[in-house]
Amino acid sequence: MDTSTSQKLIRLTGSLLTHPTHWLRYLVHLPCWGRSPLDLQLPWFSYGAIDFLERTLQPAHEVFEFGSGGSSVFFARRAQFVHSVENDAAWHRSVTACARQLGLANLQCDLHAFGDAEAARYQELPYFRALAGRRFDVIIVDGFCGFTTGPYGALRPHCFRLALQAVRPGGLIVVDDYWMYPEFAEMAPQAELIVFESTGPCRYGVTSTAVFQF
């Protein structure tokens, strides 16, 4: 989060004191050990959100992800089908190689690369159109933050608007780095919003992951 080092340390200490069950995971999953969320087969979310999803996901659920990684493997092990779209070619190779190695035939990770030069027409790009006309039980808004037309880019807000049209009744939209996008709450007043603010895998500080329940 955009805070000073001292503020980050205060937040970290407060979070670990508030969530004592996170201590061991936090230490084992620190970035200094050289493992990524993909290596751990975990989402790069807060631990509170990961625990919630662990309890909530059903074997019949269908999941869509803007972005891919350890979350893709996590969901594929627990849901019927996962469709992820990724814009980074090297990362896409890593995710698909991991899926093949684990035999996750229910994980479809598509590469739709783009860059800043395509900012003017990003809404037409396959990365975003992959969700058009489809419905999912769980939709993840993560991945590339995007072009500098807002404080943190315009892409995740566009992904969130698309997710609102595609989430099934009773479904979930999960937004990572929610602290960047508090305005999403006003975009989905019909949803129950739960914000999980805590430590998470492969990070030193505190993050926030939001779950919108419909």
> What are the strands, taking DSSP E only, across the chain?
62-66, 81-86, 107-111, 136-141, 167-176, 192-198, 207-213
The confidence score (pLDDT) of residue 112 equals 93
The confidence score (pLDDT) of residue 52 equals 98
Please give the tally of structural domains in the chain: 1
pLDDT digits (tens, 9 = 90+) for 82-109: 999 999 999 999 999 999 999 999 999 9
The confidence score (pLDDT) of residue 161 equals 94
The confidence score (pLDDT) of residue 117 equals 67
Token pair belonging to 6: 């001292």
Beta partners for residue 12, in sequence order: none
The confidence score (pLDDT) of residue 32 equals 93
Residue 110's domain spans which residues?
5-213
CA geometry: angle 16, 18, 24, nearest 5 deg: 35
Mean per-residue pLDDT pooled into runs of 10, the chain (214 residues): 75 79 87 94 97 98 98 99 96 98 98 76 86 96 66 76 97 95 96 97 94 99
How high does pLDDT run on average in the chain?
91
- Grouping H, G, I as helix, E, B as strand and the rest as coil, residue 137 is strand
CATH label of the domain that carries residue 89: 3.40.50.150
CA geometry: angle 206, 210, 212, nearest 5 deg: 170
pLDDT digits (tens, 9 = 90+) for 19-37: 888 878 989 998 999 999 9
